[in-house]
């Protein structure tokens, strides 16, 4: 069983304790206080896979246009208990991103602002460890969306399937040797990562489908590389 090396970043528990104490908004406070205990074994950790489609990559200038959530555990993924929202971007939809997501202006015309569904979203996340593929994107967009609408900070640990792949394929001595010899680095994108575990190809760039794909990928990663008894706090970032 591989163990992921602990980062020497400030500990999440100190940060969270401080934040819960300062937090004004009850929904945010309950989300932070109900995060799974870091000592919970992966096999018993309730999780939720989350994926956003956005109008661009910069959380300060772009908006979320769709959110997909799929609750799961190491044992079972529950696709039908998942959620999918289309959201109206406050700054409008850029043409360039339309081709990417296949979400069109007319589809977003009736879509609500995130403020109207934020409660549902936070409910779906509460009590679960959030699993994403590339946490920098989801974390910063969620943080900004909550800050703009509730005036609160929202930062909490997430499990990142991409960072697990990066650790396996980019940071090992073998990966370094491969890079040194001039061969291209192994791709750690969602689709390519799934292929390594013989997971079937899905239509990408749909928030719900990508969330489902991420949940399946994490199940596969754990079956391959980690013990189900590993405390979830060892893997979150």
Partner 1 sequence: MSIELYEIEQHMARFEPFSRLPAPLLQAVANAVEISYFKAGEQILTRDQPLEHVCYIRSGAVELYQRDGTTLFNRLGEGDLFGYTDLARKRAVRYPVTAIEDSLIYYIDAATFEQVADECEEFAEFVDVSGRLKHVFEQQRQSSPLLSTKARQLVQMKPLLATASMSLSEAASMMQEQHVTCVLVTEPCDSTLPLAFLDDEDHPVMLVGIVTDRDMCTRVVAEAISPQASLREIMTSRRIITTQASDSAYEAMLKMLDERIQHLPILNGKRPIGVLQLADLLRFETSNNLFLINTILRQPSTEGLVRLSQDVRRDFVSMVEQQSGSDMISRALSLTGRAFVHRLCELAEEQFGPPPVPYAMMVLGSMAREEVTITSDQDNALIIADSYQESLHGDYFKQLAEFVTDHMAECGYAYCSGEIMASNAKWRQPLSVWRHYFSDWIATPTPEHLLESSIFFDLACAHGEESFVQELRELIAQQASSNPRFLAAMARNANNRTPPLGFFRTFVMEQDGAERRSINLKRRGTAPLSDVIRVHALACGSTQQSTLGRLDDIAHTQLVTAEMIKRLRYAFEYLSTLRINHQAAAISQGEAPDNSVEPDTFSRSERHHLREAFETLRDAQKFLGFRYPLKGNRERHS
> Binding residues for partner 1, per CB under 8 A?
68, 72, 75-80, 82-85, 117, 120, 197-200, 202-203, 206, 208-209, 212, 215-216, 219-220, 223-224
Question: Can you tell me the distance from the alpha carbon of 205 to that of 225, in angstroms, rounded to the nearest whole number?
Answer: 27
Closest distance to partner 1 from the beta carbon of 45 (Å): 15
Closest distance to partner 1 from the beta carbon of 25 (Å): 23
- The closest of 55, 53, 52 to 93, measured between CA atoms, is 55
Q: Which is nearer to partner 1, 111 or 155 (CB)?
A: 111
Question: Can you tell me the distance from the alpha carbon of 42 to that of 118, in angstroms, rounded to the nearest whole number?
Answer: 27
CA angle 189, 136, 37 (to 5 degrees): 105
Q: Which is nearer to partner 1, 32 or 49 (CB)?
A: 49
Q: Which is nearer to partner 1, 91 or 227 (CB)?
A: 227
Q: Which is nearer to partner 1, 5 or 198 (CB)?
A: 198
Q: Which is nearer to partner 1, 145 or 212 (CB)?
A: 212
Q: Which is nearer to partner 1, 141 or 208 (CB)?
A: 208
Q: Which is nearer to partner 1, 93 or 121 (CB)?
A: 121
Locate 1 and state its tokens.
């069983």
Closest distance to partner 1 from the beta carbon of 80 (Å): 4
Locate 196 and state its tokens.
């390594």
Closest distance to partner 1 from the beta carbon of 151 (Å): 26
Closest distance to partner 1 from the beta carbon of 125 (Å): 15
Q: Are 82 and 210 in contact (CB under 8 A)?
A: no
Closest distance to partner 1 from the beta carbon of 64 (Å): 15
Question: Can you tell me the distance from the alpha carbon of 157 to that of 160, in angstroms, rounded to the nearest whole number?
Answer: 9
Locate 182 and state its tokens.
């001039």
Closest distance to partner 1 from the beta carbon of 164 (Å): 15
Between the alpha carbon of residue 181 and those of residues 42, 43, 116, 168, 184, the distances in Å are 37, 39, 52, 18, 9
Which residues are paired to 66 by β-bridges? 53, 86
Secondary structure E strands in the chain? 47-54, 64-72, 83-86, 129-132, 158-160
Which residues are paired to 72 by β-bridges? 47, 77
């Amino acid at each position: 069983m591989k163990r992921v090396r602990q980062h020497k970043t400030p500990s999440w528990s100190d940060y969270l304790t401080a934040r819960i104490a300062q937090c004004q908004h009850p929904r945010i406070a309950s989300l932070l206080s109900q995060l799974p205990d870091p000592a919970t074994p992966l096999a018993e950790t309730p999780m939720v896979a989350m994926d956003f489609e956005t109008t661009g990559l910069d959380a300060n200038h772009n908006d979320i246009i769709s959110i997909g959530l799929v609750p799961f555990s190491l044992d079972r993924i529950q696709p039908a208990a998942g959620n999918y929202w289309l959201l109206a971007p406050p700054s409008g939809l850029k043409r360039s991103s339309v081709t990417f997501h296949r979400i069109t202006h007319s589809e977003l015309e009736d879509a609500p602002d995130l403020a109207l569904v934020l409660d549902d979203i936070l409910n779906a996340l509460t009590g679960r460890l959030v699993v994403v593929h590339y946490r920098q994107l989801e974390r910063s967009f969620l943080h900004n969306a909550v800050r703009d609408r509730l005036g609160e900070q929202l930062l909490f640990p997430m499990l990142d399937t991409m960072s697990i792949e990066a650790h396996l394929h980019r940071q090992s001595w073998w990966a370094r040797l491969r890079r040194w010899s001039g061969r291209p680095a192994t791709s750690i994108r969602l689709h390519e990562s799934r292929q390594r575990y013989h997971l079937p190809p899905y239509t990408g760039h749909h928030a719900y489908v990508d969330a489902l794909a991420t949940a399946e990928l994490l199940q596969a990663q754990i079956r391959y590389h980690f013990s189900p008894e590993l405390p979830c706090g060892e893997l979150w970032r």
